[in-house]
Amino acid sequence: GENVEQHPSTLSVQEGDSAVIKCTYSDSASNYFPWYKQELGKRPQLIIDIRSNVGEKKDQRIAVTLNKTAKHFSLHITETQPEDSAVYFCAASKRSARQLTFGSGTQLTVLP
Amino acid sequence: DGGITQSPKYLFRKEGQNVTLSCEQNLNHDAMYWYRQDPGQGLRLIYYSQIVNDFQKGDIAEGYSVSREKKESFPLTVTSAQKNPTAFYLCASSIVSGSGSPLHFGNGTRLTVT
């Protein structure tokens, strides 16, 4: 089955700096890669996703890049703000799969 | 206001007792899921259902049971056979089951078994 590894497990950045979280996946047939944000005590929410037919996708201050050859994808947050502090999860699935496989999560802390 | 409702938010049980966690959605989604969240381990899939009266085991189904008698409801029973039941449980739904269908999560139920 699919295996998704996520790094780092914790990340602290100064407000205004950029943050990068990386994930690798094992199944070359995976074609859908979402990122979820979970604020303390709240539900995970989808913030951005990418499919294997594109290499990069942006939405304001967040972007996701995908390297299919290396089987890794990354979340980039620019101009970080305190409200970006949360746990971020990456995930992967393939067309024939009925469920997502999640990474172990990254606790991002934005220091004022 | 559409969404997923999990109840209760906090649940306490004695060891050896079965307990049922509720999950209701009014999004008209076909697929529903139960995840378990433990510190440092991400989200692990317990069970999922693609359609009414059908469900499949996920990665950690042992000690859990589910039913899907109605499209809107997907209750999870944590049985006494589950060795480490204390955890945060998240229910989710998606329009269809499969790649590319975003998950919508409930607010979760924190279960503590002593």
Dig out the tokens for B11 from the structure.
Answer: 């649940």
pLDDT for residue B1 is more than 60 = no
Looking at the partner chain, which of B44, B97, B108 has a beta carbon nearest the beta carbon of A98?
B97
Contact B45 A95 (CB under 8 A): no
Share of chain B above pLDDT 70, in %: 96
Contact B102 A98 (CB under 8 A): no
**Strand ranges (DSSP E) for B1-114?**
4-7, 10-13, 19-25, 31-37, 43-51, 54-57, 64-66, 76-78, 87-94, 104-105, 109-113
Residues A37, A47 contacting (CB under 8 angstroms):
yes
Q: How many whole angstroms separate alpha carbon A104 and alpha carbon A100?
A: 13
B91/A contact by beta carbon, under 8 A: no
For A70-93, what is each residue's pLDDT tens digit? Answer: 999 999 999 999 999 999 999 998
Dig out the tokens for A39 from the structure.
Answer: 């604020």
**Strand pairing class (B87-94; B109-113):** antiparallel
Query: Mutate which of A98, A101, A102, A107 to test chain B, going by most B C-beta atoms within 10 A?
Result: A98
Contact B43 A44 (CB under 8 A): yes
* Identity of residue A4: V
Query: 3-state DSSP call for residue B63?
Result: coil
For A93-110, what is each residue's pLDDT tens digit? Answer: 887 667 789 999 999 999
Q: What mean pLDDT is predicted for residues B31-51?
A: 91
B26/A contact by beta carbon, under 8 A: no
Query: 3-state DSSP call for residue B32?
Result: strand
Per-residue pLDDT, B52: 94
Backbone angles phi, psi at B107, to 5 degrees: -85, -5
Per-residue pLDDT, B42: 85
Q: How many whole angstroms separate alpha carbon B19 and alpha carbon B42?
A: 23
For A22-69, what is each residue's pLDDT tens digit? Answer: 999 999 989 999 999 999 888 999 999 998 888 999 999 999 999 999
* Identity of residue B24: E
List the end-to-end C-alpha distance of chain B, in Å, as a whole number.
36
Other beta carbons within 10 angstroms of residue B98's beta carbon come to 18
* Identity of residue B16: G
Looking at the partner chain, which of A36, A93, A102 has a beta carbon nearest the beta carbon of B99?
A93
Dig out the tokens for A67 from the structure.
Answer: 């390297």
Q: How many whole angstroms separate alpha carbon B5 and alpha carbon B24?
A: 5
Per-residue pLDDT, B98: 66
Per-residue pLDDT, B99: 65
